[in-house]
Amino acid sequence: SQQGEEDPQALSIQEGENATMNCSYKTSINNLQWYRQNSGRGLVHLILIRSNEREKHSGRLRVTLDTSKKSSSLLITASRAADTASYFCATEGAQKLVFGQGTRLTINP
């Protein structure tokens, strides 16, 4: 079974709005990562947050991690059409990186 589960499975918002995606996991982790996948392409790394960190920023991205609740969230601020993609969380532990099922984000003009 997969480690991470993402919520919602699909999200559609207007350009300029903020998008929030959530990820829950089951066991202890070393770190949690977020990736983006444009249609038909390979995944691209966005951000990594260590298990001893609570929040991390990168440009318009903000990631939080709550290890007590085993959950993480990815916030994309001031969304753009180019942000339309699938977003995956991945948890690392025991020399493996395990992915969630992803959130499909659509930004409407």
Partner 1 sequence: NAGVTQTPKFQVLKTGQSMTLQCAQDMNHEYMSWYRQDPGMGLRLIHYSVGAGITDQGEVPNGYNVSRSTTEDFPLRLLSAAPSQTSVYFCASSWTVSYNEQFFGPGTRLTVL
Q: Which of residues 35-64 bind partner 1 (CB under 8 A)?
A: 35, 40-45, 48, 50
89 and 4 in contact (C-beta within 8 Å)? Answer: yes
Q: Of 15, 5, 1, 2, give the one whose Cα is nearest residue 88.
A: 5
Q: Which is nearer to partner 1, 70 or 104 (CB)?
A: 104
Q: Of 65, 74, 69, give the one whose Cα is nearest residue 92.
A: 65
Q: Which is nearer to partner 1, 36 or 70 (CB)?
A: 36
Report if residue 92 touches partner 1, rule: CB under 8 A. yes
* Cα–Cα distance measured from residue 37 to residue 30, given in angstroms and rounded to the nearest whole number: 23
Q: Interface residues with partner 1 (CB under 8 A)?
A: 2, 30-31, 33, 35, 40-45, 48, 50, 88, 90, 92, 95-102
